[in-house]
Amino acid sequence: MVRFSGSWTAGPHSRHRFVPPQENDPDSPRVGCAGFRGVRQVTQQMDPLALLSKKLTLRRVKRFGNVGSSPANLGEEVTMDTVATYIEANEQRYVEELIEYVKIPSVSTKVEATADMERACRFLVERMREAGLENVEVLPTSGHAAVYGDWLHAPGMPTVLIYGHYDVQPAEPLELWDSPPFDPKIREGQLYGRGTVDNKGQHYLHLMAAESFLKSGQRLPVNVKFIIEGEEEIGSPNFSEILDQHKELLRADALVISDSPMLDRGIPSICYGLRGLAYYEVEVTAAGQDLHSGSFGGAVANPLTVLSEIIAKLHDARGRVAIPGFYKDVLTIKKKERAALRKLPFSQKNFLQTTGAVRPSGEAGYTTPERLWARPTLEINGLWGGYTGEGAKTVLPAKAHAKISCRLVPNQDPKKITRLLERHLKKLTPNTVRLEFRVHSLGKPWVAPYTHPFFQAAQKALKKGFGRRAVFIREGGSIPLIPDIQDTFNIPVILMGFGLPDENAHAPNERIDLSNFQNGILSVAYFLKELGELGKV
């Protein structure tokens, strides 16, 4: 077994130490699309993606020869020592390729990023083919496309569908980044850049795990299918379209996703529950245009004041959401699960240090993990209006705006919550202003029992990859497509995340711990092997 620690020492069978390429090191390989050593002149005439593909292909031929992935050339026995050795030998290349991937600013919410979204698609197509996957194709949607690839030469074995997303959050505010978000840098064993942990690094390691079998002369122990979409960060509005059009193509015995954090550093985790997400925007209008606050103040309503008063009434003194009927359908945490959650090695001190919060806050009567994972919330994500520039401007704003999100728990219906919230907001709105309510996205919550044998296979694999038994947790975030896939195929969903809570997903200085990235590749390889030993369940 090979394991990688935070100090980058390999495990007992290791022959090499991973030394990530560092900034300003003349001996480190330069992996920018236009920055490979010795090919600067060529880059002016060759498409960067084509150059990357050529460079990586040449590197593989030089290192490993022409190792094909045709089933006829693969041995029947799966030897994990061979797979682990391949992973160890390629660890630096994995990081180099992830750097190239993160350099693509694939921000799905921005119209101007459409070309970059297409670049990310092409990158995935190239890498899936090079890794040995077959039937690689781009699946168009009404919005951004998804990329599919598979390897289906394990008759009688389970088929695993691996999901990820290549779109990322906007990087703003840019001034809060210590290095440019789309120019990834390695500092102290961590790779910084937008999308490193959410979600490019986490799904890319699955592709590398599959490659470690196919390019080391091994047969994958199970059938695998990859589906990497481009709209998760905007609520996966077109994923149901992909499911409807490609239901048989995506049919599998299990869904595996790495898009969630571990409980804490050094504690591998399997997630069995997510909150849903409902996202809204509210606009309050008081006048036809901004007005002079001296000439009109006191005679015309201030929409910022009105909206602030409305928002202040959305919670009560105990931290509960004050919308009538909001908690009616909430699934109560059972005593057994509550006891299990309280036994987890959750550190309140680490939580406060990670967040920078003064004190824990939230609904009275619940622990921090319960508030985060099993209780619903209503949050104000943005509030603006009037003049916010430098200096003073005595203006009475015509409009005020707020962005509001609700994290929902099992049994809460996003459509019902939407109706309750809109009705309550309009009830609180005085007749001196006009309120408009818009829905941006709706996603269902999800929770599942973790008694299926596939969960135990994941737990065994993570122990082999990290050297510590994995814990079962929930997660407060949302992956909108999971309920849709589970409803469509009725299959177990295994969330084995390799991020950390303090890695700033959705925030400046997002990063991924490279030891977790490498241990994740090894863990996924062991997971596929464990599933193969289980066979069809």
Domain ranges of the chain: 67-274+446-534, 276-330+375-443
User: Residue 193's pLDDT is what?
Assistant: 98
User: Residue 33's pLDDT is what?
Assistant: 30
CA distance 433 to 309: 13
370 near 333, Cβ under 8 Å?
yes
Whether 41 has a pLDDT exceeding 70, the answer reads no
User: Residue 537's pLDDT is what?
Assistant: 72
The residue that leads in pLDDT, 535 or 279, is 279
Whether 319 has a pLDDT exceeding 60, the answer reads yes
**Cα 376 to the chain's mean position, in Å?**
20
The residue among 201, 106, 270, 117 whose CA lies nearest residue 511 is 201
Alpha carbon separation from 76 to 133, 138, 219, 461 (Å, rounded): 18, 31, 6, 21
* E strand intervals along 97-189: 134-139, 146-151, 159-165, 185-187
pLDDT tens for each residue of 173-211: 999 999 999 999 999 999 999 999 999 999 999 999 999
User: Residue 76's pLDDT is what?
Assistant: 57
Give me the CATH code for the 67-274+446-534 domain, please: 3.40.630.10
> What tokens appear for 73 in the block?
């050339």
Quickly list H helices, 347-411.
348-355, 368-373
494 near 458, Cβ under 8 Å?
yes
Catalytic residue among 232, 253, 264, 503, which? 232
Whether 73 has a pLDDT exceeding 60, the answer reads no
Provide the pLDDT confidence category of residue 277 given band limits of 50, 70 and 90. very high
- Rg of the chain taking only CA atoms, in angstroms: 25
Whether 461 has a pLDDT exceeding 70, the answer reads yes
pLDDT tens for each residue of 227-273: 999 999 998 999 999 999 999 999 999 999 999 999 999 999 999 99
Whether 484 has a pLDDT exceeding 60, the answer reads yes
Helix (H, G, I), strand (E, B) or coil at 135: strand
What angle is formed at CA 313 by the lines to CA 311 and CA 315, rounded to 5 degrees?
A: 95
149 near 166, Cβ under 8 Å?
no
User: Residue 459's pLDDT is what?
Assistant: 97
| Catalytic (active site) residue 232 | yes
pLDDT tens for each residue of 303-317: 999 999 999 999 999
CA distance 390 to 20: 43
pTM of the model: 0.81
Q: Are strands 276-285 and 399-408 parallel, antiparallel or unpaired?
A: antiparallel
Q: Is 383 exposed, middle or buried (0-12, 13-18, 19+ CB in 10 A)?
A: middle
CA distance 83 to 490: 32
| Catalytic (active site) residue 167 | yes
Cis peptide upstream of residue 173 (ω within 30 degrees of 0):
yes
pLDDT tens for each residue of 17-40: 333 444 444 333 333 332 222 222
CA distance 64 to 55: 14
Q: Which residues of 65-82 are buried (b: 16+ CB within 10 A; e: fewer)?
A: eebebeeeebeeebebeb
For the chain, percent of residues with pLDDT exceeding 70: 86
Whether 154 has a pLDDT exceeding 80, the answer reads yes
Contacts of 504 (CB under 8 A, 6+ apart): 510, 511
Whether 49 has a pLDDT exceeding 70, the answer reads no
Contacts of 89 (CB under 8 A, 6+ apart): 16, 63
The residue among 522, 527, 468 whose CA lies nearest residue 85 is 522
Whether 428 has a pLDDT exceeding 70, the answer reads yes
Catalytic residue among 116, 130, 150, 167, which? 167
Write out the CATH class of domain 276-330+375-443: alpha beta
User: Residue 75's pLDDT is what?
Assistant: 45
User: Residue 486's pLDDT is what?
Assistant: 87
CA distance 80 to 213: 9
Whether 70 has a pLDDT exceeding 70, the answer reads no
CA distance 250 to 239: 12
For the chain, percent of residues with pLDDT exceeding 90: 81
Give the mean pLDDT of the chain: 88
